[in-house]
Structure 1
Amino acid sequence: MAIQPWFTDAKLGIFVHWGIYAVDGVQESWSFYDDIVPYDRYMSQLDRFTAARYDPRDWARLFARAGARYVVLTSRHHDGVALWDSAHGRLNVGRDLITGYADALREEGLKVGLYYSHSDWSHPDYASTRRPGRPPEQEDNRYSEVAAECEDLAAWERFIAYRDGQIRELAERHRPDLMWFDGEWERSEEQWRIRELAALVRSYAPDVVFNARMLSEGDYATPEQGAPVVPPEGPWELCLTINDSWGFQHHDHHHKSVDQLIRYFTETIGGGGNLLLDVGPREDGTVPAEQAERLEGLGDWIGRHAEAVYGTVRGLPAGHHHGPSTLSQDHRTLYLMLFDAPRAAFGVRGLRSGVRRVTVLRSGRELGHRVIGGLHEAPGVLWIDPPAAADLDPHATVLAVELDGELELYRGAGRS
């Protein structure tokens, strides 16, 4: 099944890691799993999680201004705490924080994504089996696995029933456009009943998009934190934090700058992917000002250069242009991103297509250009005059290169 077109044209999504871990500002789930925070202390945050200033419409408006087309909220992380009043399991925040979120996104025209972890390190039936082929000498974590001789397959069936109950609640109530699963590494596809799980979600949301952590049912790859040097071939998404943390952590002030975020963003869309940019709201539901300011900054840049963002496909492979690029869907306009102000004419290599004109996208000013060199099948270099200082964008300047026909590239080594 082909991936939904809205996803590949979305370009920007917002990842929201929000849960009880924001109360003390500890790492979500992993802090107790790795014995950094005692389990009881971690869970004591549940009684102190207020969501007192949570306004999903504020979120939706902010994310829309950032230029996002979809949002993914952690409905339940590995800690097992659901953000809605689930009838399944014993851990939830005691109210429904998902419905308002989904309604607010749709009011702003944004697609609704829900994160859900396959694993649940708090459920009494979860640590009842182990992944097939897991070496006996490999150390087990008490929250996730048991020794082979202690497996309880009846308990695992109870866990799957609990999982299916929660997924049915989410899918039936919200008809999500995207389900973002996590934690798949702890069990096999057969243990997770991946095909049955996918069928369950699709029975309520037939056009749902799944990430790759749905294994054989996944629609797109999800590299995390590290931008790929060679972009994946198919649809993909880079998951990236604004600072160094997924959820809110009081001490983490190491925020990426707007310049850096624009670079990550343009390199990602230039490679054919989406950027899923993470924010970590405080426990009261407010987005930290430092993160909101960066979303606004990114959105301002996207708004000035929307033509080079939406409705485009992956641009030039590495080696043709020193920077990211995108290509219009008809393959007749190439958009070049410049992060540094050129001191002189700069070159674009390997263009077999003729060039009609080159303009600065923001101002519309036309730039001089010429092709120099070339021999036999190897085309010459397209040299473009530098934009004037007045035409430079403070973050990244975009040039529109209008071609005579569809883009044709030379990828050879030249004739010797």
Structure 2
Amino acid sequence: MPMQPWFPDAKLGIFVHYGIYAVDGVPESWAFYTGEVPRDRYMRQLHGFTASRYDPRTWADLFVRAGARYAVLTARHHDGVALWDTAHGDLDVVRRTPAGRDLITSHADALRERDLKVGLYYSHSDWNHPDYASVIHPDPPHHDHVDSNPYVVPKDGVEDPEAWARYLTYRDGQVTELVERFRPDLLWFDGEWERSEAQWRIPELARRILAINPQTVLNARMLSHGDYATPEQGLPVRAPKGPWELCLTVNDSWGYRHTDDRHKTVGMLVRYFAETIGMGGNLLLDVGPREDGTVTEPQAQRLTGLGTWIARHSDAVYGTVAGLPPGHHHGASTLSKDGRTLFLTCFDAPREHVAVRGLRTPVKRVSVVGSGAELGHTSSGGLHEVPGMTWIDAPAPGDVDPYATVLALELDGELDLYRGSGRV
């Protein structure tokens, strides 16, 4: 099925890791998996999860200010704790925590009120389910102790196919609930590395989802049935093939950790964002609310700061596609969908000139996005089929953005680039 057009047009999404792990501020699910925290202590966080100040409309307003077009909430992480009143098992915040209510319905409603697309995260794996550690990956990856962790593999290596079948019934039942009740525009799966595609019965699960809502976007952790790639925490040097999304934390943690104050600056986030969309991807920027449901001020400030930059440069963000390949401009770039306006991002204040190589299409006009100031431009050199260098006058100091300055090049026709090696 072709990618839903809203996804590549969205550019920015907000990832929200919200769950009981915020009570003690420990790594989400991984804290007991790795032994950092005993499992019984981890699960005692259920008693402290109140969601007492949980206000999805406040979240949605913040996401809109950030410039996002969608948000993804952790409906159930690897710890198995569901944020809704599931009929499959009883490990959910409705029955087992002081929050005492479904947290997803109001979240989805608040997003849709602000015209944001609804994404829900769901982990294939559940390290708390009694039937999960019942089979062994036929070719386990060499990380995370997938072939030895007691929460993943059966005791003494003896498989139990009947237990695994029960687990899949549970997993399929919860996913069906999410799709039928909340009609998410996107399902963001995780945990896929712990089993093979055949063991997960991925084709059957995809058919189940799409039979209910054929427009559901699925991420790459649905393996061969995923619609887009999901690199994580590191900007790729080369863009993945097809649609993709970089998921990135604002600080160093996915969920709330009161000890983590290593927040990326607004300038860093602008650079991550500009480079990601310049390579044709989306940025999925993660925040970790406190257990009461409030987003910390440092994280909110950074989302708002990024959103201020996006709003000032919206012409170079929305309605664009990937820009120039490496080597033509020293910075990120995007291109209008009609191919007639090229947007150059300069992360440092331009000095004297901004240069563009290999531009065959004549430039009609250059201006600074945000201020509208027009800049002079000329070209020099060139021989036969090799175009000359395009030189753009540096903007005045008052037109330079503190994080990244964007120049709009209005072209006399669709973009045409020279990609050769010159006359040799």
- Normalised-by-shorter TM-score class: over 0.9
| 1:324 lines up with 2:325 in the alignment | no
Sequence identity (%): 69
- Kept in 1, the 8 Å contact 2:140–2:194? The answer is no
CA distance in 1, matches of 2:206, 2:179: 11
Residue 219 of structure 2 aligns with which residue?
211
> Post-superposition, which runs of at least 4 consecutive aligned residues in structure 1 deviate over 3 A?
133-139
Look up the equivalent residue of 2:309 and give its one-letter code: W
CA distance in 2, matches of 1:393, 1:103: 36
Residue 377 of structure 1 aligns with which residue?
385
Residue 304 of structure 2 aligns with which residue?
296
Residue 363 of structure 2 aligns with which residue?
355
| 1:22 lines up with 2:25 in the alignment | no
Change (3 A) 1:272 1:148: farther
| 1:107 lines up with 2:113 in the alignment | yes
Larger CA deviation: 153-162 vs 87-96: 87-96
Q: 2:241 aligns with which of 233, 243, 247?
A: 233
Change (3 A) 1:247 1:415: same
What secondary structure is seen at the aligned counterpart in 2 of 1:374?
A: coil
Larger CA deviation: 393-402 vs 101-110: 393-402
Larger CA deviation: 137-146 vs 167-176: 137-146
Look up the equivalent residue of 2:133 and give its one-letter code: A
RMSD: 1.4
Residue 59 of structure 1 aligns with which residue?
59
Change (3 A) 1:26 1:270: same
Residue 145 of structure 1 aligns with which residue?
153
Look up the equivalent residue of 1:29 and give its one-letter code: S
Query: After superposition, what is the alpha-carbon deviation per residue over 1:228-280, rounded to whole angstroms, capped at 9, x for unaligned?
Result: 01111311000000000000001000000000000000000000000000000
CA distance in 2, matches of 1:184, 1:85: 24
Larger CA deviation: 31-40 vs 137-146: 137-146
Residue 389 of structure 1 aligns with which residue?
397
CA distance in 1, matches of 2:299, 2:315: 25
CA distance in 1, matches of 2:172, 2:148: 26
What secondary structure is seen at the aligned counterpart in 2 of 1:165?
A: helix
Change (3 A) 1:30 1:315: same
What is the total number of aligned residue pairs between the two structures? Answer: 416
CA distance in 1, matches of 2:371, 2:146: 61
Larger CA deviation: 141-150 vs 97-106: 141-150
User: Normalized against structure 1, the TM-score is what?
Assistant: 0.98
Residue 120 of structure 1 aligns with which residue?
126
CA distance in 1, matches of 2:89, 2:153: 19
Query: After superposition, what is the alpha-carbon deviation per residue over 1:33-61, rounded to whole angstroms, capped at 9, x for unaligned?
Result: 01110000000001110000000000011
Change (3 A) 1:167 1:109: same
CA distance in 2, matches of 1:21, 1:263: 30
- Kept in 1, the 8 Å contact 2:344–2:406? The answer is yes
Query: After superposition, what is the alpha-carbon deviation per residue over 1:321-357, rounded to whole angstroms, capped at 9, x for unaligned?
Result: 1110000000000001111111211211111111111
CA distance in 2, matches of 1:134, 1:377: 52
- Kept in 1, the 8 Å contact 2:141–2:193? The answer is no
CA distance in 2, matches of 1:213, 1:138: 16
Residue 11 of structure 2 aligns with which residue?
11
Query: After superposition, what is the alpha-carbon deviation per residue over 1:81-112, rounded to whole angstroms, capped at 9, x for unaligned?
Result: 10111111231111210000000000000000
What secondary structure is seen at the aligned counterpart in 2 of 1:219?
A: coil
- Kept in 2, the 8 Å contact 1:25–1:247? The answer is yes
Residue 295 of structure 2 aligns with which residue?
287
> Cα distance, 1:196 vs. partner?
1.2
Residue 49 of structure 2 aligns with which residue?
49
CA distance in 2, matches of 1:65, 1:363: 20
> Cα distance, 1:318 vs. partner?
1.0
- Kept in 1, the 8 Å contact 2:187–2:217? The answer is yes
| 1:402 lines up with 2:413 in the alignment | no
What secondary structure is seen at the aligned counterpart in 1 of 2:388?
A: strand
Residue 187 of structure 1 aligns with which residue?
195
Q: Which runs of 5+ in 1 are unaligned?
A: none
CA distance in 2, matches of 1:32, 1:134: 21
Residue 322 of structure 2 aligns with which residue?
314
Larger CA deviation: 175-184 vs 136-145: 136-145
User: Normalized against structure 2, the TM-score is what?
Assistant: 0.96
Larger CA deviation: 39-48 vs 227-236: 227-236
> Cα distance, 1:147 vs. partner?
5.8
CA distance in 2, matches of 1:176, 1:320: 40
| 1:256 lines up with 2:264 in the alignment | yes
Residue 275 of structure 1 aligns with which residue?
283
CA distance in 1, matches of 2:130, 2:306: 43
- Kept in 1, the 8 Å contact 2:126–2:132? The answer is yes
What secondary structure is seen at the aligned counterpart in 1 of 2:255?
A: coil
Look up the equivalent residue of 2:175 and give its one-letter code: I
- Kept in 2, the 8 Å contact 1:65–1:299? The answer is yes
CA distance in 1, matches of 2:212, 2:60: 24
Q: Which runs of 5+ in 2 are unaligned?
A: 95-100
CA distance in 1, matches of 2:207, 2:111: 25
- Kept in 2, the 8 Å contact 1:271–1:314? The answer is yes
